[in-house]
Amino acid sequence: MREALTAAASRRVTRPAPLRQAVYDALTELIINGSLKPGQHLVEAELAEHLGVSRQPVREALQRLQTAGWVDLRPAQGAFVHSPTEEEAAQLLGVRSVLETYSAQLAAQNARPEDIERLGELQQEGVDALAAGDVDRLVAANTALHAFVTSMAANDVLAELLAKVGQKVRWYYTPIAKPRGKEAWNEHTQLIKAIAKGDADRAGEVMRKHTERTSDFYRKQIASGSNQA
């Protein structure tokens, strides 16, 4: 864990935000980006040292992370990063598929020329990230493109629901971003074309298949144990 933190996440927690929340957010991000991996033992003293805080806010954050499903606290053993089960993934990604499908339909209905131009820019960023083999950039580009489609939908309730599942979707997507990348970004191209034409039915169908293929790919990774590496 020490090497992972040093290499990818030894940033000090900034003080302006409430300390408890800042520590919680920092640890959540370390889990999402894979610096702290599923099943990994979390040592309070090491986390506190690397975040530049005392052990108390780390201990409190670990309690909250357990409640949120990011961490498992085991009696007499300590804290461990949660390892998502196949059932958990199926439930979350299934809900995401329904929400994103509706989002794509609304986006197609509301699309303006400047929105299509922005989607093209986001698509190019993802293609460039894939070519560079940059996982962090690739995940960020994927998140940005889907978020922009959601913003085009102009539905506050939908946006709120997608935000709730967004962090864990990003967590699940990170280990498959590269192997799924070429197919996923080709599907994004089809999605953008449908949205540009204002074809809500086609946009929804493309998004549905896109999210379902991502879900299937992730479940296969769980079954093989590849996402634990």
| pLDDT tens for each residue of 168-227 | 999 999 989 999 999 999 999 999 999 999 999 999 999 999 999 999 998 888 777 654
The C-alpha atoms of residue 31 and residue 23 are separated, in whole angstroms, by 12
Whole-number average pLDDT of the chain: 91
Q: Is the pLDDT of residue 53 over 90?
A: yes
The C-alpha atoms of residue 86 and residue 21 are separated, in whole angstroms, by 29
Q: Is the pLDDT of residue 9 over 60?
A: no
Tell me the three state secondary structure of residue 147.
Answer: helix
Q: Where are the beta strands (DSSP E) in 9-151?
A: 41-42, 71-74, 78-81
- Whether pTM > 0.75 for this model: the answer is yes
Q: What is the pLDDT of residue 222?
A: 75
Q: Quick one: DSSP state of residue 133? A: T
Q: Is the pLDDT of residue 228 over 50?
A: no
The C-alpha atoms of residue 121 and residue 143 are separated, in whole angstroms, by 14
Higher local confidence (pLDDT), 5 or 192: 192
Q: What is the pLDDT of residue 8?
A: 52
The C-alpha atoms of residue 57 and residue 25 are separated, in whole angstroms, by 12
Q: Poorest-confidence range of 21-30, 85-94, 162-171, 214-223? A: 214-223
Q: How confident is the model at residue 14 (pLDDT cuts 50, 70, 90)?
A: low
Q: How confident is the model at residue 86 (pLDDT cuts 50, 70, 90)?
A: confident
Average pLDDT over residues 138-153: 96
Higher local confidence (pLDDT), 7 or 173: 173
Q: What is the pLDDT of residue 28?
A: 96
